Amino acid sequence: MTGPTGLSARRTAPDLARGLMLVLIAVANAHLYLVDRPIGYRGYPAGLVGGDRVVAVVQMVLVDGRVYPLFAALVGYGLARLADRAPEGVLRRRGVVLIGVGALHGVLLFPGDIIGAYGLVVLLIAPVVATGPAAGPSAGSSRGLLAAAGAIAAFGVLLSTGQGTPQGVPTVPSIGAPTVGAFLAAHPGEWFATTLFSALLTAPAVLVGVVIARSGTLDDPVAHRRRLALWAVGGLAASVMLGLPLALAVVGTWVPAGVAAGLAGAAHTAGGYAGALGLLGVMGLLASVSWPGRDLIAAAGTWSMTLYLSQSVVFVAVFATVAGGLGSSASLTTATVTGLLVWLVGVLVAGLLARAGHRGPAELLVRRATYGHAPS
């Protein structure tokens, strides 16, 4: 077994995807902090007007339900790379560590945490992802992993039929809690429920990410531009078409009912998987050419977990009722712009530090807990 991959040996495309993914996460989470108002579909405020309606439609077809499967695919990519150099026990330990980080994040800050869900998936699939002589007959073929991903995704889509009706309450109710005690007391239950449901919905993307890593597509994006372009065009087209019905419901253009509501919810989730692949294709294409800021964003991508956690710190400080309190009055556009600014500052700070050879604090913690005292 070897230790963690050194900074100089990392691939540009996956790190660039992680850096760009962070802006999508910021945008996707921003509306969840808008509380103390009527809540409609997918946690968006009801009765959106003006520019907020445009922002909501764009988010629904390209970001909402798309970014966390994208994140999951990159987790799967990283898991496959870890399996190339470490035994199954290390993979399982990585899953346990991620669950621990997610629990701390969810209980102390944001119970909509996704890290714990990825940790649970990693822990469960470690035996079939492990490679090498010690892996034994349990190691899964790429075809088998794709078949399992398809079956789990179909079940997740079926469960998503309920998303075609208005929520009525915020996705994360504790954001509007009036006291710090109530804010913290609600977190364990919210985090646990979110983790289980998110693990189910994102497990297919983690498995697909493992297969993508094995294919080498992101390792050499220049040589795979045709495949990446196919992902981008096909994935994003499906994402828009499948996400548009529920997007129109979010802005009040129509009110789905009965079977139509169930189909709209299921289509949105199915479009999320397609959209994640489409976004990954776009990011791979962006990695295949040089452009200003590319290397800085890729460097920031090596701090992806640290930046993800720091976004929650800023959002809670600005929007939570027990802190800045802007969640009760900010518009969707304001929340989205706040997310963009948080990402931009994070990229500038983390990118410069990473290029100077520094790893993110969360990344160092996870690596030390996973590898013990292996050199970093």
Determine the structural domain holding residue 16 and report its residue range.
8-371
Q: Is residue 30 part of a domain?
A: yes
Give the CA distances from residue 27 to residues 39, 62, 272, 274, in Å, rounded to whole numbers and listed in that order: 18, 11, 15, 19
Contact 274, 240 (CB under 8 A): no
94 contacts: CB under 8 Å, gap ≥ 6 = 79, 82, 119, 122, 366, 370
Q: For helices 304-319 and 332-355, what crossing angle results, to 10°? A: 140
Dihedral sign, Cα of residue 138, residue 122, residue 212, residue 66: positive
Q: Is residue 2 part of a domain?
A: no
The burial class, CB within 10 Å (0-12 / 13-18 / 19+), for 323 is: middle
Q: Is residue 253 part of a domain?
A: yes
- How far apart are alpha carbons 278 and 271 in whole angstroms? 10
Please give the residue that has the higher pLDDT: either 141 or 336. Answer: 336
Q: Is residue 130 part of a domain?
A: yes
What is this structure's pTM? 0.93
Instruction: Name the band, by pLDDT with cuts 50, 70 and 90, for residue 252.
Output: very high
- What pLDDT score was predicted for residue 5? 57
Contact 247, 66 (CB under 8 A): no
Q: Is residue 267 part of a domain?
A: yes
As for how many domains the chain has, the answer is: 1
Q: Is residue 152 part of a domain?
A: yes
195-230 burial, b at 16+ Cβ within 10 Å, e below that, comes to: beebbbbbbbbbbbbbbbbbeebbbebeebbeebee
- What pLDDT score was predicted for residue 141? 87
- How far apart are alpha carbons 357 and 351 in whole angstroms? 10
Candidates 347, 316, 319, 314; CA nearest to 332 is 319
Length of the chain: 376
For 216-225, the pLDDT digits (tens) are 999 999 999 9
Dihedral sign, Cα of residue 302, residue 305, residue 309, residue 315: positive
Q: What is the mean pLDDT of residues 334-338?
A: 97
Q: What is the mean pLDDT of residues 285-305?
A: 96
- What pLDDT score was predicted for residue 94? 96
For 203-212, the pLDDT digits (tens) are 999 999 999 9
Q: Is residue 160 part of a domain?
A: yes
DSSP letter at 360? P
Q: Is residue 1 part of a domain?
A: no
Contact 87, 127 (CB under 8 A): no
For 260-286, the pLDDT digits (tens) are 999 999 999 999 999 999 999 999 999
Q: To 5 degrees, how large is the angle CA 253–CA 255–CA 258?
A: 150
55 contacts: CB under 8 Å, gap ≥ 6 = 332, 333, 336
For 32-72, the pLDDT digits (tens) are 999 999 999 999 999 999 999 999 999 999 999 999 999 99
